[in-house]
Amino acid sequence: MINTRALRSIAVFSGSNHGFNPAYVEGARALGREIARRGLRLVYGGTDKGLMGVMADTVLAEGGEAVGIITGLLFELGHLHPQLTHHEVTQDMRSRKTRMSEYADAFIALPGGLGTFEELFEAATLTQLGEHHKGVACLNIAGFFEPVRSLLDHAVKEGFMKTEHRDMLIFDTDPAALIDALERWQAPTVTKWIGSAPAV
């Protein structure tokens, strides 16, 4: 029997730009539709920019709930999405990520830049260390996350990561399959340490 986790809220990390490939925008819309269809609450960075805005627009248009967590700086710049179900303004990026994590039962990354990568790897690191037990996934639109998969494979090959921690990240091109996998996800039970240093 497959164990499933009751997901209520999903934090989504994504770019505040649209990217050059139209598939990224359509992928963000598809994820937004699936989140709303399942009655899940979207938790995200709170802006109306880029893929973040596209996804929130879609969730709201489909009758879903969208919660935005935005920094004071971005709020003062006028970047808050004007139609959110609820929003919070935090002091800085660190407190923003903490609040998003507190709301979330799982995490999904869409294509994005430095902020998206940083949020993705922090969430995965906290799972690896056992500070939370929440699944982390990437919606692999147009192969965007293939270099990340290659990097994780390289870290395993070079002795910096166990296969269990590489494999705990979920990759899929289909939003429904991705969320299904998050519902089935089980936290790894191994420690992160691989062994003693090689002899010199």
Contact 111, 16 (CB under 8 A): no
The predicted pLDDT at position 6 comes to 84
Q: Identify the architecture of domain 9-142+169-184 in CATH.
A: 3-Layer(aba) Sandwich (3.40)
Whether 91 has a pLDDT exceeding 80, the answer reads yes
Mean pLDDT of 75-94: 95
pLDDT digits (tens, 9 = 90+) for 169-191: 999 999 999 999 999 999 998 88
CA-closest candidate to residue 136, choices 162, 159, 99, 110: 110
pTM of the model: 0.93
pLDDT at 1 over 50: no
Q: Which of 64, 192, 66 is closest to 131 using CA atoms?
A: 192
AA letter at 19: G
Higher pLDDT, 200 or 20: 20
In degrees and rounded to multiples of 5, residue 39 shows phi and psi of: 75, 25
- pLDDT above 50: residue 78: yes
- 3-state DSSP assignment of residue 42: strand
Domain range list for the chain: 9-142+169-184
Task: Characterise 119 by phi-psi region: left (phi > 0), alpha (psi -120 to 50), beta (else).
Answer: alpha
Tens-digit pLDDT profile for residues 28-62? 999 999 999 999 999 999 999 999 999 999 999 99
